[in-house]
Structure 1
Amino acid sequence: QKEIEYEGEVHNGVLVVQNFFGVDYPTGVAIVHDLMNARLRQFRHVAEVELPVLYDDFALDAEAREILAGYVRELEHWIAGILIWHRGCRRYREEDLRRGHGTPWHISGPTGLGTSAAQITRLLTQLAGSPA
């Protein structure tokens, strides 16, 4: 919601689903929610059921099994971290979004010795506006 309403984002997952399926916002949210839950269930199934079979099929030793198990733990931490970040980040709190964050800043481009060519558009605009 934040990306769409406040930043004009067009690559938001819910917005993509809305446009692709031609559905309203609540339906798009429900589809993305179901998709995310399905992917999490798939991840858990692979970790709990399919990896042990893979270990046996390839006769992996204890070291290789631990390396793969460690990678799964890292992915679990990453998934949990994303959730914790989204829940705790002020970026997603509605009261902060409505309040705004002050005057937006603008990048002016490079300055200093040897950067005049980067400012050519501004210089040409100034010249075009000055009397001949």
Structure 2
Amino acid sequence: MRDRYAGREKPVAAAKTCLIVDDSRVIRKVSSKIAISLGYVAIEAENGEEALARCKKAMPDLVLTDWNMPEMDGIAFVQKLRAIPTPKEPVVVFCTSNGEAKDIHDGIAAGADDYIVKPFDEAALKAKLEKLGRG
């Protein structure tokens, strides 16, 4: 059988991207490490405005966002993100210390797919993403 890519590079599958939105550099680095371990290319933003600009340039496959941030909080970011027309909507997970039932309801109502309360570890985030089909 003849190799149809003889002399050319074989096409590479597009890498899955994960946008991590948090005003804490430490949380972004820890979350990036977890995302990379799950096979994602990690992209970081320190607030909702920066994250929205990144999403308008290239929509990620997965978004992990904090709630409490300067410039634009997580709720406003998720609402604006969901208003962007895109052929592939990202899975959005709130990663926040706001853990009351009302907070979880408000986060899902804003357009998030799921919610994980800080502090979380790699196993908890992996389990959450596997449940969403993104692990």
TM above 0.5, one fold? no
Comparing both structures, which one devotes a greater share of its residues to helix? 1
- Point out the structure with max Rg over C-alpha: 1
Higher relative contact order (CA 8 A, sep 6+): 2
TM-score after normalising by structure 2? 0.21
